[in-house]
């Protein structure tokens, strides 16, 4: 079989996915219309033409604008359901997805509206599509820690639905240390923790995520390679990195997929995984991310299979659930 067919057939996980980043232009226009809201672009084609980014911030500006048409619980349901049907068709068996409550609560959308819409779709996806899930609530790091604390308070009655907290948005200038108190409280409350670190920011941010936020995974982590001591730590502790190849290309974290750090990371025995980040904006879901990287780096079938297995290893499935796949 071809590499492409091999990738399609592999059971996969998705561990780095912003649900707001799955908002396809067609659905965006549909939901805007039923909410009587206007989008700044004439049509789907014009909107898609705006998807050209020089860095993370240029993307975030468009991503937050897109999310602003999500108002009702059914909007969040439809968004999440569209994503699940898409990846279930790509043989994704398990997802651990992010949502950004502050993007919505700061516009007056109630926390529960957001959470219930997403959660009900995830439940239905588990039952009807056989895709298991965990939910991660991210704090926006360009906002202050007080706002993150308020968001954590809103999550406390929903520990049955939210397993972990994470940290995303504009990285440079917003180090993990800015959020050490709210992560400490989240840990005391029993949440697992993850953080975006080393996407555009320096290795020091990865150290902070590990030592101050006590993360069990690093989201991205590309820049760990600048620091040999850090690489050694990540390898020894087998801390997973959730890499996002097409995101890295589109946000100019790498110039070309041929220059992606994954092979160097694998050579250092890092636990690397492939994920899609914001697939509606970066031109590909899971299979496209595997395929783009496999093509650019000439990955072998055993290497690709290892990456897919790493996803299960790095997940929060229990050992019995993992055993089926690794």
Q: Write out the catalytic residue numbers.
A: 199
Choose which of 93, 178, 196, 217 interacts with ligand ADE (CB under 6 A).
196
14 makes contact with ligand ADE (CB under 6 A): no
Please answer whether residues 207 and 180 qualify as being in contact, where contact means their C-beta atoms are separated by less than 8 angstroms.
Answer: no
**Binding track, positions 147-166, relative to ligand ADE; x by CB under 6 A:** --------------------
Among 18, 93, 94, 260, binds ligand ADE (CB under 6 A): 18
Which residue of 75, 199, 208, 250 would you call a contact of ligand ADE, by CB under 6 A? 199
Instruction: Name 319's Cβ contacts closer than 8 Å, sequence gap at least 6.
Output: none
Q: Does residue 100 bind Zn ion (CB under 5 A)? A: no
CB 245 within 8 A of CB 274: yes
Q: Is 169 in the site for ligand ADE (CB under 6 A)?
A: yes
CB nearer to ligand ADE: pick between 20 and 75: 20
Q: Decide if residue 247 touches ligand ADE (CB under 6 A).
A: yes
Region 241-280 residues binding Zn ion, contact defined as CB under 5 A? 277
CB of 259 to ligand ADE, least distance (A): 18
199 makes contact, choosing from Zn ion, ligand ADE, none, with CB < 5 to 8 Å by partner type, with: ligand ADE
Q: Burial letters for 270-290: b for 16+ Cβ neighbours within 10 Å, e otherwise?
A: bbbbbbbbbbbbbbbbbbbbb
CB of 3 vs ligand ADE, minimal distance in Å: 26
Residue 257 is a binding residue for ligand ADE (CB under 6 A) = no
Number of residues binding to ligand ADE, judged by CB under 6 A: 11
| First and final C-alpha spacing in the chain | 21
Residue from 207, 278, 299, 314 touching ligand ADE (CB under 6 A): that is 278
Helix (H) or strand (E) holding 93: strand 92-99
* Per-residue tokens: 16: 């780095």
Q: Does 168 bind ligand ADE (CB under 6 A)?
A: yes
Instruction: Give the residue at shortest CB distance from ligand ADE.
Output: 168
Lay out the site mask for Zn ion across 273-312 (x = CB under 5 A, - = otherwise).
----x-----------------------------------
Q: Considering only residues 37-66, where is the footprint of ligand ADE by CB under 6 A?
A: 56, 63
* Among 139, 142, 167, residue whose Cα is nearest residue 153: 139
Tell me the helix, strand and coil percentages in the chain, rounded to 5.
55, 15, 30
Measured CA to CA, the distance from residue 163 to residue 197 in angstroms comes to 20
User: Could you say which of ligand ADE, Zn ion, none residue 12 binds, taking C-beta under 5 to 8 angstroms by partner kind?
Assistant: none
- Exactly one of 70, 114, 277, 292 binds ligand ADE (CB under 6 A); that residue is 277
CB atoms within 10 A of CB 269: 13
Specify the residue, 97 or 317, whose C-beta has the smaller distance to ligand ADE: 97
| Minimum CB–partner distance for residue 21 and Zn ion (Å) | 7
**What is the edge-to-edge ordering of all strands in the sheet holding 132-140?**
12-14, 92-99, 132-140, 164-168, 192-197, 217-220, 241-243, 272-274
What DSSP letter does each residue of 189-245 carry, written as one string? TT-EEEEEESSSS-HHHHHHHHHTS--SEEEE-GGGGG-HHHHHHHHHTT--EEE-H
SS3 87: helix
Instruction: Quote the DSSP letter at residue 324.
Output: T
Q: Which of residues 63-92 bind ligand ADE (CB under 6 A)?
A: 63
The 8-class DSSP code of residue 17 comes to: B
The residues that touch Zn ion, with contacts defined as CB under 5 A, are 277
The residues that touch ligand ADE, with contacts defined as CB under 6 A, are 18, 21, 56, 63, 168-169, 196, 199, 247, 277-278
């Amino acid at each position: 079989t071809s590499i492409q067919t091999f990738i399609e057939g592999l059971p996969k996980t998705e561990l780095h996915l912003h649900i707001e980043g799955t908002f396809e232009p067609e659905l965006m226009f549909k939901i805007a219309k039923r909410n009587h809201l206007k989008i700044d672009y004439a049509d789907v084609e014009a909107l898609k033409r705006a998807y050209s980014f020089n860095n993370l911030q240029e993307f975030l500006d468009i991503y937050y604008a897109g999310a602003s048409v999500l108002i009702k619980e059914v909007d969040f349901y439809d968004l999440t359901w569209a994503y699940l049907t898409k990846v279930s068709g790509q043989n994704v068996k398990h997802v651990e997805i992010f949502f950004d409550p502050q993007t919505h609560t700061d516009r007056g959308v109630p926390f529960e509206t957001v959470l219930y819409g997403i959660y009900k779709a995830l439940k239905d996806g588990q039952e009807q599509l056989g895709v298991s899930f965990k939910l991660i609530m991210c704090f926006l790091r360009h906002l202050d820690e007080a706002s993150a604390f308020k968001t954590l308070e809103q999550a406390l009655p929903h520990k049955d639905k939210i397993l972990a907290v994470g940290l995303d948005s504009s990285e440079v200038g917003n180090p993990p240390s800015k959020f050490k108190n709210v992560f400490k409280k989240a840990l005391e409350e029993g949440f697992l923790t993850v953080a975006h670190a080393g996407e555009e920011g320096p290795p020091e941010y990865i150290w902070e995520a590990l030592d101050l936020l006590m993360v069990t995974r690093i989201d991205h982590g590309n820049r760990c390679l600048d620091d040999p001591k850090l690489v050694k730590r990540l390898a020894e502790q087998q801390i997973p990195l959730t890499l996002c190849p097409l995101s890295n290309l589109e946000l100019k974290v790498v110039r070309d997929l041929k220059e992606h750090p994954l092979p160097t990371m694998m050579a250092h025995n890092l636990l690397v995984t492939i994920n899609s980040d914001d697939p509606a904006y970066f031109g590909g879901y899971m299979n496209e991310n595997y395929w783009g990287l496999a093509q650019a780096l000439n990955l072998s079938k055993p290497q690709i299979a290892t990456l897919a297995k790493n996803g299960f290893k790095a997940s929060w499935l229990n050992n019995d659930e993992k055993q089926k796949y690794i």
